[in-house]
Structure 1
Amino acid sequence: MDFPALRCNTNAPAELPARAVATFWFAAMVAVAVLPLYASQTLIGPLATGLHLGAWTTLVTALTLFGYAVGLVGLVPLVDRWPNRALIAATLIAQIVCLAGAAAASAAAVFLAASFAVGVTASVVQMLVPAAASLAPAASRGKVVGNVMSGLMLGILLSRPIASVVGGAFGWRAFYAGDALLLAGVTLVVVPRLPDVRPVGTPPYRDLLTSMGRLVAQEPVLRRRALYQGLLMAGFNTFWSSVAIVLTRAPLHLGSTAVALFALAGGGSVFIAPLAGRAGDKGWTARATTLAHFIVLGAALVAAFSLVPGMPRMASIGLLAAAAFFIDGGVIADQALGRRAINLLSPESRGRVNGLYTGLFFLGSAVGATIAGPAFAHWGWPGVCTATLAFFAAAAVLHARENSHGA
């Protein structure tokens, strides 16, 4: 099946200052749109109380991430079929409505359904990145994409502390309502700046989905890298979905502001991604991947020993913060190496390959978030750390067995 080229109905490329302003707004849009994906991890307490979810409060994060994966695989391919500006605008409006629905929900089932829908529509970020790239000439396209992707990473990084501060001060509903208002404001600015990219021809939706299945079957590098990252994201979310509970309970007793500051421990991941990408460019993909896997394994062990009986309170907090930093850093490094590897595959299907890669590893995210609640309820922090270690170890073992592939 041959898929159509894209026709961009924009005029001459924007001048540099205008393009820089547009890139800033695209990055801001991506950051705001991605905020709800992980926010519920630090709203666990208020959500459990307000909606009576009990130990299954972490299902909120799981459903949001499952929804995001569904959107990546089922919604993002429509950019090859529908006018991009209209599709992006409609998806943004839908996300605003879903966020408002989550804020207004009075029943657990309604809120969980809204959380899933928020995840589906948050996949709009994977439509915005190539749209931003089309505004730039080829010589600076990588820089523009990198800047917009930094908005994605910043949104993920800030989602937990922002949710913690807003939720602590005004309640969990205020976070979802505030994000809806913020997204509406940024949408009004960004949508008029979107390039009017229109597919030449309209391939059947079924053919788009079928082609993605063939890509998974035909590209072993895509399968391997998605599996590594999916396992790492499962461990990542098992850790982050539970650590907020640990921080607020005995013996640590941290307040919402302190939990928000703790969530910034992963800030170094913003700088690790380009370093990992550079390592891949130098031909060190396999070694750098092995290092990333050893880092997260070590960090999970540190987390496990951070709450041993007799450990001073501040030492426990410091060890948990160090574990969070290195877990975030190792996972982001593996993801950067994976994105580089898959982007060396067939250029004509790069968009679908990226959507598949992200969608598949976000399924791992949802699995980790789902496991975290029962693991903590039945076995406490040791159970959470054991599950986290198991996911990380599986990724490391699989990569060690396939190291000869160099990916």
Structure 2
Amino acid sequence: MLSLAVAALSARLLPLTSASSSQCYVALLAEPLRLLRSEPGLRRSCLYQALVFAGFSAVWTGVALLLTGPVYGRGAGAVGLLALVNAVTMVCTPVAGRQVDRRGPDAVNRVCFLVVGASTAVLALGGVGGAAGVAALIVGTLLLDVGMQSGMVANTVRIQALRAEVRSRLTTAYMTCAYLGGAVGSWLGVRAYGSFGWLGVCALVAALTAVALARHRWATRRTAGRFRRTAAPGSGAAGPIMAARAAATSPEETS
């Protein structure tokens, strides 16, 4: 009844609007796929977030199994308390945003991958159990959460700068890829824990992060090469101006 009442009030009070696009609904649903094909920066951001969120999901799936298993023998409430502690990482997003404004999304992505990679080493110590293991799980999940959330800020800034007129569709493509990565990460995390235990989950996250970092290094080196080739003919002020123009007009990579 309350839902019906809210629906009736919304129909009565909200202003009438017209569609912002002349495309049919089916075409709009397919638009994120077309953007993934045509926008290299979107593909790169989607890959980064899918890999990191896969690792994030794998860790939290494995943590639940670890804490409720024989090493700790805790209940589901212990997992909830650990997640509650990680709520403090929300304060990192404004800091990440300022760093993206100052240094650009690529620099923040690089740091985030390194932070996530470092978290796997700390998380591995969580398998020893006891107070030391709990401390390692707290610190490791905090680092993982900071890396994941800060990376999301950098990736969002990158995709929002691509095409202002289709930002909602860019976001749809990005978030879909991110959550697909998270679903796959949970699936892999269960299997890694079942086959190799907690260390298998940590190794899985490290491998996913290594793939993301390798892809990032390849992309940034390719972009730096474009800048050098563009700036070479100029001298003095002309070189930097031409390099900046190349950065604004050329894609970050071609595949």
- State the partner residue of 2:211: 394
Q: Which has the higher contact order (CA 8 A, sep 6+)?
A: 2
Give me the CA root mean square deviation. Answer: 2.5
TM-fit CA distance, 1:196: 4.4
Gaps of at least 5 residues in structure 1 are 1-92, 94-183
What SS class does the counterpart of residue 306 from structure 1 fall into?
helix
Q: Which amino acid aligns with 1:377?
A: G
Identical positions, percent: 29
Q: Distance in 1 between matches of 2:8 and 2:209?
A: 39
Residue deviations 1:188-229 (CA, integer Å, cap 9, x gap): 499737664431665223322343232112211111111011
Q: Does 1:256 align with 2:76?
A: yes
8 Å Cα contact 1:266-1:329 kept in structure 2 = no
What pairs up with 1:221-370 in 2 under 5 angstroms? 221-308=41-128, 313-370=130-187
Change (3 A) 1:302 1:285: same
Q: Distance in 2 between matches of 1:357 and 1:194?
A: 29
Gaps of at least 5 residues in structure 2 are 225-251
Change (3 A) 1:194 1:320: farther
| TM-score normalised by the chain length of structure 2 | 0.78
What SS class does the counterpart of residue 85 from structure 2 fall into?
helix
8 Å Cα contact 1:268-1:329 kept in structure 2 = no
Q: Distance in 2 between matches of 1:296 and 1:290?
A: 10
- State the partner residue of 1:169: none
Q: Does 1:205 align with 2:25?
A: yes
| TM-score normalised by the chain length of structure 1 | 0.50
Q: Which amino acid aligns with 1:394?
A: V
Which has the larger displacement, 232-241 or 276-285?
Answer: 276-285
Whose radius of gyration is greater, 1 or 2?
A: 2
Q: Distance in 1 between matches of 2:117 and 2:14?
A: 42
**Runs (4+) of structure 1 moved beyond 3 Å?**
187-191, 193-198, 404-407
What pairs up with 1:74-85 in 2 under 5 angstroms? none
**Count of residue pairs the alignment pairs up:** 221
Change (3 A) 1:350 1:393: same
8 Å Cα contact 2:48-2:212 kept in structure 1 = yes
Q: Does 1:375 align with 2:192?
A: yes
